[in-house]
């Protein structure tokens, strides 16, 4: 009996010794699985956060354009300039963004905090520069935090940006998608032969001239005709940026825009047919240029600077 007992005892110990590695292996495998599940859950959360953050930022671009669209429209309808267009822009954009943050929280539980630090005219006058600080998180574990600067194109997308300057300067509002100045533009021109601008025509939707090489305007009849017919805008050091246009300024320290205003009268010399010249009512702001015949029905007047810029 005793011998048998001894044998049983030894067998049990051996079995136990053999089981230990198996148990250890099982523990390790379970832990690895748990770790994998945790990691996967964290990855899913991180991916979701990245995707929500990028959706939110894309919507910010749309809101920027919508805000500027509404502001330029309101200024034209009310014929009233802003005292500080940058401040109005910043406040309105921030309000829209705050509402959107709430929407994101209600829909996804994601806590978004976005502060607009600055809104300004970009070096490219067809863009607006927006700086912001953004944090997004589900819980403190997953968090995205960034300081960012984005450039919003004014001339693409669903929201048209309007030029408030023609209305603010002359009181004339757009009809049938153009501005016909009647005798209101010639009234503000202080140099001689202003009457060539009676019934002058202008655009008011900011559209970028597709002919980037400006000197080609004069080398190709189709280009200048197309540019004039579409009332395209061009980059200009002397022209006004969109934010200064909203304030009805005469000059602007930023890189700005200029467009041709098409006169109706023909004479040898007359005020230069560029918006920032005709609208500049400060002393010596307006000056005369030479007649340039574009076609049977259209002439414009340009000084030497603008002649060489457009190759005319
Ligand atoms: Zn052009
Ligand atoms: Zn400006």
Q: What is the pLDDT of residues 272-284, one digit of tens each?
A: 999 999 999 899 9
Instruction: Give the pLDDT of residue 244.
Output: 97
Ligand at minimal distance from the CA of 274 is: 1
3-state percent breakdown (helix, strand, coil) of the chain, nearest 5: 45, 20, 30
Does 51 score more than 90 pLDDT?
yes
Distance CA 174, CA 302 (A): 25
Task: Summarize pLDDT for 181-214 with one digit per residue, the tens.
Answer: 999 999 999 999 999 999 999 999 999 999 999 9
Q: How many helices (H) and strands (E) does the chain have?
A: 8, 10
Cα radius of gyration rounded to whole Å, the chain: 33
Residue 126 CA to residue 155 CA, distance in Å, equals: 7
For ligand 2, the distance from its centroid to the CA atom of residue 94, given in whole angstroms, is 21
239 touches 261 (CB < 8 A): no
Query: How far does residue 193's CA lie from ligand 1's centre (Å)?
Result: 25
Average pLDDT on 66-95 reads 98
CA of 214 to the centre of ligand 1 (A): 7
217 in Cβ contact with 234 (< 8 Å): no
For the CA of 211, the nearest ligand: 1
Taking the CA of 241 as reference, the closest ligand is 2
B/e letters for 177-195, b = 16+ CB within 10 Å, e = fewer, are eebebeebbbebbebebbe
Cα–Cα distance between 63 and 67 in angstroms, integer? 6
Q: Looking at 32-41, 78-87, 179-188, 266-275, which range is the least confident one? A: 32-41
Q: How confident is the model at residue 34 (pLDDT cuts 50, 70, 90)?
A: low
Ligand nearest to the CA of 217: 1
Average pLDDT of the chain, as a whole number: 91
Alpha carbon of 38 to ligand 1 centroid (Å): 59
Cα of 299 vs centre of ligand 1, distance in Å, is: 15
Torsion angle, alpha carbons of 295, 296, 298, 299, to 10: 80
Q: Which pLDDT score is estimated for 45?
A: 82
What is the number of the ligand closest to the CA of 228?
Answer: 1
| CA–CA distances in Å: residue 129 to residues 86, 165, 169 | 11, 21, 26
The whole-number average pLDDT for the span 138-159 is 91
What's residue 157's pLDDT? 84
Query: Tens digits of per-residue pLDDT, 114-147?
Result: 999 999 999 999 999 999 999 999 877 789 999 9
Spacing, Cα 241 to ligand 2 middle (Å): 4
Whether the CB-CB separation of 238 and 258 falls below 8 Å is answered with yes
Ligand nearest to the CA of 251: 2
- For residue 29, pLDDT over 70 is answered with no
Average pLDDT on 39-50 reads: 84
> What is the Å distance from ligand 2's center to 230 Cα?
24
Residue 38 has pLDDT above 80, yes or no: no
Sign of dihedral through CA atoms 73, 77, 78, 80?
A: positive
Distance 259 CA to ligand 1 centre (A): 8
Q: Identify the nearest ligand to the CA of 122 by its number.
A: 2
Out of 39-43, 92-96, 199-203, 264-268, pick the least confident: 39-43
Q: How far is the CA of 256 from the centre of ligand 2 (A)?
A: 6
What confidence tens digit (pLDDT) does each residue in 256-269 have?
A: 999 999 999 999 99
What pLDDT does 112 receive?
Answer: 96
Mean pLDDT of 41-57: 89
The least confident of 29-38, 60-69, 84-93, 185-194 is 29-38
pLDDT at position 3? 58
Distance 36 CA to ligand 2 centre (A): 56
- Location of structure tokens 């899913």: 44
Give the rounded percent of residues in the chain with a pLDDT score beyond 90: 78
Q: How far is the CA of 116 from the centre of ligand 2 (A)?
A: 20
**Residue 93 pLDDT > 90, yes or no?**
yes
Q: How many CB atoms lie within 10 A of CB 88?
A: 19
With a CB cutoff of 8 Å and minimum separation 6, the contacts of 292 are 299, 300, 301, 302, 307, 312
The pLDDT value recorded for residue 5 is 65
* Crossing angle of the two packed helices 85-108 and 2-78, in degrees rounded to 10: 150
Residue 251: which residues within 8 A CB-CB, separation 6 or more? 238, 240, 276, 280, 282, 285
Cα(55) to centroid of ligand 2, in Å? Answer: 31
Q: H or E segment at 291? A: strand 288-293
Residue 155 has pLDDT above 70, yes or no: yes
Whether residue 70 contacts residue 96, with contact meaning beta carbons closer than 8 Å, is answered with: no
């Amino acid at each position: 009996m005793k011998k048998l007992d001894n044998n049983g005892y030894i067998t049990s110990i051996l079995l136990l010794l053999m089981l230990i590695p198996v148990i250890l292996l099982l523990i390790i495998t379970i832990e690895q699985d748990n770790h994998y599940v945790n990691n996967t859950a964290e990855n899913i959360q991180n991916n979701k956060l990245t995707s929500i953050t990028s959706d939110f930022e894309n919507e910010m671009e749309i809101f920027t354009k919508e805000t500027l669209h509404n502001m330029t429209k309101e200024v034209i309808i009310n014929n009233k300039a802003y005292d500080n267009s940058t401040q109005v822009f910043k406040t309105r954009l921030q309000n829209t963004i705050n509402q959107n943050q709430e929407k994101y929280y209600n829909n996804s539980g994601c806590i978004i905090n976005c502060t607009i630090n600055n809104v300004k005219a970009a070096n490219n006058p067809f863009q607006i520069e927006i700086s912001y600080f953004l944090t997004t998180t589900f819980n403190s574990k997953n968090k995205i935090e960034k300081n960012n600067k984005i450039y919003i194109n004014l001339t693409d997308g669903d929201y048209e940006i309007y030029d408030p300057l023609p209305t603010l300067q002359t009181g004339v509002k757009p009809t049938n998608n153009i501005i016909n100045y009647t005798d209101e533009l010639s009234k503000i021109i202080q140099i001689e032969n202003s009457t060539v601008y009676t019934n002058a025509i202008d655009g008011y939707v900011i559209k970028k001239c597709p002919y980037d090489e400006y000197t080609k305007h004069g080398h190709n009849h189709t280009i200048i005709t197309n540019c004039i017919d579409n009332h395209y805008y061009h980059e200009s050091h002397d022209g006004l940026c969109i934010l200064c246009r909203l304030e009805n300024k005469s000059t602007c320290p930023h890189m700005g825009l200029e467009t041709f205003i098409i006169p109706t009268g023909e004479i040898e010399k007359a005020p230069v047919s560029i918006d920032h010249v005709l609208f500049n009512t400060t002393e010596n702001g307006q000056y005369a240029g030479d007649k340039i015949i574009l076609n049977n029905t259209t002439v414009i007047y340009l000084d030497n600077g603008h002649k060489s810029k457009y190759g005319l």
